[in-house]
Amino acid sequence: MPVSKLVRRREPAEFTRQEFEHRVERARKLMVKAKLDGILVSSEMNLEYLSGFTTQFAWNTPTRPWYFLLPLKGKAVGVIPEIGITNWQATSWCQNLLTWPSPRPENEGLDLLTKAIKALPRRFGRLGVELGDESRLGMPVADLLRLGKMIRPFELADAIPVIRELRIIKSAAEVARIKHICGVANDAFDRLPDLVADGDTERDIVRKFQAELYLLGADKTPYTAIGSGKGGYDSIIQGPLPRRLRKGDIFLIDTGTKWGGYFCDFDRNIALGKPTDKARRMHDLLWLSTEAGIKAAVPGNTAADVYAAQAKVLVDAGIVLGNVGRFGHGLGKNMTEPPSNKPGDATVLRPGLVLTIEPSAMYDGNKIMVHEENLVVTDGKPKLLTRRAPREMPVVAW
Amino acid sequence: MPVSKLVRRREPAEFTRQEFEHRVERARKLMVKAKLDGILVSSEMNLEYLSGFTTQFAWNTPTRPWYFLLPLKGKAVGVIPEIGITNWQATSWCQNLLTWPSPRPENEGLDLLTKAIKALPRRFGRLGVELGDESRLGMPVADLLRLGKMIRPFELADAIPVIRELRIIKSAAEVARIKHICGVANDAFDRLPDLVADGDTERDIVRKFQAELYLLGADKTPYTAIGSGKGGYDSIIQGPLPRRLRKGDIFLIDTGTKWGGYFCDFDRNIALGKPTDKARRMHDLLWLSTEAGIKAAVPGNTAADVYAAQAKVLVDAGIVLGNVGRFGHGLGKNMTEPPSNKPGDATVLRPGLVLTIEPSAMYDGNKIMVHEENLVVTDGKPKLLTRRAPREMPVVAW
């Protein structure tokens, strides 16, 4: 079980001031359309996206909320607990701060927020907050409802349509980060056959794989799932279990790993000993299905088209489609973002949209197999951000 | 830079069925007092605590929400996306499931929830949801507000006081998990001097330390912060930065690392070369302050008393207290939980309450130093869950 030493690799540069100016400028244009006088964010991904504030701390301790207020006109402001001043000043472009001594359960920054919001120029009378699809609030709901009363005559409105449109198109600097972490994970996958030792359980393999990801340059690996079983696995989101791997098993590792605030999200299949013909055929068909999905990821096509292209390969071969609900999704600061590659998702692809291509198929009753690659849509052909999986399933001799 | 091989250690047993029956029984007694006909949870920690459902997937993809409904009377039910059926059935005690094909943005399980809630025996007409202090909702707020209208005549009420009381007292099995992960992190800290190599940056050290945590048996390390500087550091929640460590530096690593759904949360200081007399004195005083905090963590004392005992040691020595807002906190499924060791927190300590003891102090202008240990309150003296830090700051010869 050889584990590598620390590998130092060239990393993407810090985001420039222009990167954030561009985000703010785009946000403000969208805010006018959405009739919002300001946007207040408290969730990890949206606060980090707009302010640049980078921390492990804030998102691991729900005791203290953290806020960023971006007005349509005027200065943005961070409204944060005193404990975070140094951390904020070192990482955010916005040096305008309001702070309070937290924990203070009776008033976790609500008075400061109210004052800042009421001072906004009131054109529409609406403050955008995180309410809608695929959002998670970074503060207690009771505090949001209380704030809604305190800021009257401003009304709370949904900021998520604005944020969705902002974040769905990635800048070159964002794409570079996703590509970087894809490279780290690809390297870890390349070493996976050497990490697997006789007697290992799923848990052992995931521990070693996660350690490898760090030594190869990852910041965090929030998601490293594994599925294994004789001739194939029956879950792609579960594990690691204490199950011991055996000759004849096929296993899958799927990882959502992060660098610089951005995720990769892809998987690889490995056979321990020669796989069955059935499993080899499934792997081949899924590889071809992925190929079709990649080809379909061009401007003008919809997310539904990308699904249809993948599904066609499998359906034409008489294969039952996977029961996952979609064949890939947006990727960025979240491991899964809009759109969904599924029937009915009419999101039109544009350059800068980063997608996973992820067909899955059922076989031998309850077995499922899945493939996944990450790409960015361009003016021409899509650019792969992962190194393409081999068409033949990798086999570890056991 | 020696990195260890995978270490297999004896791990705590799976939670028993009785563990969850006990949680549910306690929950229902508290629900009567709080006049709730049921509790609906969607956040990682509360859903996992009540249902036992264990997953990396659900909490890393906000696309699909996951629900657990615990009625005052009648059968509990998981309301989850179809993709999670296998994962749920393998990990939860509750095999009663309602599922829908997600993603389905127009209705992510709300119809199923409404039906299940409306079928509850209506004694109080109130459904508890996650609204209050230190909570984070695991679904979009807009969906919660919509649900509130759909379930009338049931009204939404705050479930957090019930959940706080439930979770603040840990069972023996929960304490065993916290102790287990404390042991893993203690072992990693013991190896830290060997991991630090000339030329390392903060980022290098954190990568190696995180890899070590996995190889020693951790599930995840969501929080591993580092602070470093000549003679001491100025932030305890930041980093890792690209800063290169030098002779004369003191650095701190603070880690919130998980096993089996429970966190440890503690730190260690290390000097690279002989530390200054001032820094050694601070370390000694903080060690004594921690000692006083540990002694004060007995039934009948309040969280404020535990703070006061720690603060007294520092104040008597003429030291400026750290600007962190508190001297420790509850610990369990969250890295920080109620109570807060701070003036005014009147939470009375009881056996089973798990606390961090975490005094901090300022020196040399903007420098801060912090210590931390984890313990469980018992009928008699508190039991340390961490192995106590050495009184003298460890020194790496450089």
CB of B270 within 8 A of CB of B200? no
Question: Residue B9: inside a domain, yes or no?
Answer: no
pLDDT score recorded for residue A1: 43
Q: Measured between alpha carbons, how far is B264 from B178 in angstroms, rounded to an integer? A: 6
Residue B362's beta-bridge partner residues? Answer: B320, B368
pLDDT score recorded for residue A3: 54
Residue A227's beta-bridge partner residues? Answer: A252
Q: Measured between alpha carbons, how far is B303 from B356 in angstroms, rounded to an integer? A: 11
Residue A2 reports pLDDT greater than 70: no
A324 touches chain B (CB under 8 A): yes
Domain co-membership, A106 together with A213: no
Question: Residue A7: inside a domain, yes or no?
Answer: no
Question: What ipTM did this prediction achieve?
Answer: 0.96
Token reading at B47? 């859903």
Domain co-membership, A146 together with A254: no
pLDDT score recorded for residue A239: 81
Nearest CA in chain A to B208: A215
Domain co-membership, A234 together with A358: yes
Q: Give me the mean pLDDT over the A278-293 stretch.
A: 98
Torsion of CA A317, A319, A321, A327, to 10 degrees: -40
Q: A335 contacts in B (CB within 8 Å)?
A: 60-61
Q: Is B6 within 8 Å of A1 when comparing Cβ atoms?
A: yes
Question: Residue A5: inside a domain, yes or no?
Answer: no
Q: Half-sphere exposure (CA, 13 Å, Cβ side) for A328?
A: 37
Q: Measured between alpha carbons, how far is B382 from B398 in angstroms, rounded to an integer? A: 38
Angle at A212 between CA A210 and CA A214, to 5 degrees: 75
For residue B110, report the phi and psi dihedrals to the nearest 5 degrees: -65, -35
Angle at B7 between CA B2 and CA B13, to 5 degrees: 155
Q: Measured between alpha carbons, how far is A121 from A72 in angstroms, rounded to an integer? A: 8
Last residue of a domain, one of A127, A147, A167: A167
Q: Measured between alpha carbons, how far is B327 from B370 in angstroms, rounded to an integer? A: 9
Token reading at B138? 């695991």
Last residue of a domain, one of B122, B144, B167: B167
Distances (CA, A) of B14 to A201, A224, A248, B17, B18: 16, 21, 28, 9, 11
Q: B65 contacts in A (CB within 8 Å)?
A: none
Domain co-membership, B84 together with B115: yes
Q: Is A336 within 8 Å of B61 when comparing Cβ atoms?
A: yes
Q: What's the DSSP call for residue B387?
A: P
Q: Is A325 within 8 Å of B101 when comparing Cβ atoms?
A: yes
Q: Rounded mean pLDDT of chain A?
A: 96
For chain B, what is the domain count? Answer: 2
The length of chain B, given as a count of residues: 398
Cα distance from B210 to chain A (closest Cα, Å)? Answer: 7
For residue B40, report the phi and psi dihedrals to the nearest 5 degrees: -115, 120
Question: Residue B75: inside a domain, yes or no?
Answer: yes
CB neighbour list of residue B379: distance below 8 Å, 6 or more residues apart: B299, B351
Nearest CA in chain B to A201: B8
Question: Residue B2: inside a domain, yes or no?
Answer: no
A304: buried, middle or exposed (CB in 10 Å: 19+, 13-18, 0-12)? middle
Domain co-membership, B267 together with B157: no
Domain co-membership, B92 together with B157: yes
Q: Which residue has the tokens 């009625």?
A: B71
For residue B8, report the phi and psi dihedrals to the nearest 5 degrees: -100, 120
Q: Is A142 within 8 Å of B131 when comparing Cβ atoms?
A: yes
Q: Measured between alpha carbons, how far is B356 from B107 in angstroms, rounded to an integer? A: 42
Q: Measured between alpha carbons, how far is A165 from A167 in angstroms, rounded to an integer? A: 6
CB of B165 within 8 A of CB of B30? yes
pLDDT tens for each residue of B31-89: 999 999 999 999 999 999 999 999 999 999 999 999 999 999 999 999 999 999 999 99
Strands A249-259 and B220-230, by their bridges, are: unpaired
Nearest by CB to A207, from B105, B215, B336: name it: B215
Last residue of a domain, one of B139, B167, B195: B167
Q: A264 contacts in B (CB within 8 Å)?
A: none
Radius of gyration of chain A from its Cα atoms, rounded to whole angstroms: 23
CB of A274 within 8 A of CB of A364? no
CB neighbour list of residue A20: distance below 8 Å, 6 or more residues apart: A50, A52, A93
Nearest CA in chain B to A207: B214
Q: Measured between alpha carbons, how far is B194 from B2 in angstroms, rounded to an integer? A: 7
Helix (H) or strand (E) holding B296: helix B277-296
Domain co-membership, A92 together with A125: yes
Domain co-membership, B42 together with B182: no
Q: Is B82 within 8 Å of A135 when comparing Cβ atoms?
A: no
Q: What's the DSSP call for residue B52?
A: -
Token reading at B342? 């701070």
Q: Measured between alpha carbons, how far is A214 from A90 in angstroms, rounded to an integer? A: 24
pLDDT tens for each residue of A245-282: 999 999 999 999 999 999 999 999 999 999 999 999 99
> Domain with B45 in it: what CATH number?
3.40.350.10
Residue A128 reports pLDDT greater than 70: yes
What amino acid occupies position B266?
F
Question: Residue B216: inside a domain, yes or no?
Answer: yes
Q: Looking at the whole model, is its pTM more than 0.90?
A: yes
Expressed as residue numbers, the domain containing A216 is 172-396
Nearest by CB to B3, from A5, A101, A337: name it: A5
Domain co-membership, A23 together with A148: yes
> Domain with A302 in it: what CATH number?
3.90.230.10
Cis peptide before B81 (omega within 30 of 0): no
Question: 3-state secondary structure string, chain A?
Answer: CCCCCCCCCCCCCCCCHHHHHHHHHHHHHHHHHCCCCEEEECCHHHHHHHHCCCCCCCCCCCCCCCEEEEECCCCCEEEEEHHHHHHHHHHCCCCCEEEECCCCCCCCCHHHHHHHHHCCCCCCCEEEECCCCCCCCCCCHHHHHHHHHHCCCCEEEECHHHHHHHHHECCHHHHHHHHHHHHHHHHHHHHHHHHCCCCCEHHHHHHHHHHHHHHCCCCEEEEEEEEEEECCECCCCCCCCCCECCCCEEEEEEEEEEECCEEEEEEEEEEECCCCHHHHHHHHHHHHHHHHHHHHCCCCCEHHHHHHHHHHHHHHCCCEECCCCCCCEECCCCCCEEEECCCCCCCECCCCEEEEECCEEEECCCEEEECCEEEECCCCCCEECCCCCCCCCCEECC
Distances (CA, A) of A7 to A193, A212, A215, B201, B244: 19, 10, 6, 13, 16
Q: A324 contacts in B (CB within 8 Å)?
A: 83
Question: Residue B342: inside a domain, yes or no?
Answer: yes
Q: Give me the mean pLDDT over the A11-39 stretch.
A: 98
Cα distance from A2 to chain B (closest Cα, Å)? Answer: 8
Best residue of A133, A262, A360 to probe chain B, by most B CBs closer than 10 Å: A133
Q: What is the pLDDT along chain B (398 residues), one digit of tens a residue?
A: 445 689 999 999 999 999 999 999 999 999 999 999 999 999 999 999 999 999 999 999 999 999 999 999 999 999 999 999 999 999 999 999 999 999 999 999 999 999 999 999 999 999 999 999 999 999 999 999 999 999 999 999 999 999 999 999 999 999 999 999 999 999 999 999 999 999 999 999 999 999 999 999 999 999 999 999 999 999 999 889 999 999 999 999 999 999 999 999 999 999 999 999 999 999 999 999 999 999 999 999 999 999 999 999 999 999 999 989 999 999 999 999 999 999 999 999 999 999 999 999 999 999 999 999 999 999 999 999 999 999 999 999 88
Q: How many CB atoms lie within 10 A of CB B15?
A: 18
Nearest by CB to A62, from B1, B134, B223: name it: B134
Residue A121 reports pLDDT greater than 80: yes
Q: Which residue has the tokens 């604005």?
A: A162
Q: Is A214 within 8 Å of B210 when comparing Cβ atoms?
A: yes
Sheet with strand A383-384: strands edge to edge:
A337-340, A329-330, A354-357, A373-376, A383-384
Q: What's the DSSP call for residue B391?
A: S
DSSP states of B71-89 = ESSS--EEEEEGGGHHHHH
CB of B169 within 8 A of CB of B352? yes
Nearest by CB to A135, from B3, B62, B336: name it: B62
pLDDT score recorded for residue B1: 43
Q: Measured between alpha carbons, how far is A147 from B98 in angstroms, rounded to an integer? A: 35
Domain co-membership, A158 together with A29: yes
Token reading at B300? 């009948």
Strands B360-363 and B320-321, by their bridges, are: antiparallel
pLDDT score recorded for residue B323: 87
Q: B103 contacts in A (CB within 8 Å)?
A: 325-326, 340, 342
B235 touches chain A (CB under 8 A): yes
Q: Which of residues 184-223 of A touch B (CB under 8 A)?
A: 204, 207-208, 210-212, 214-215, 217-218, 220-223
Question: Residue B4: inside a domain, yes or no?
Answer: no
Domain co-membership, A158 together with A190: no
Domain co-membership, B158 together with B254: no
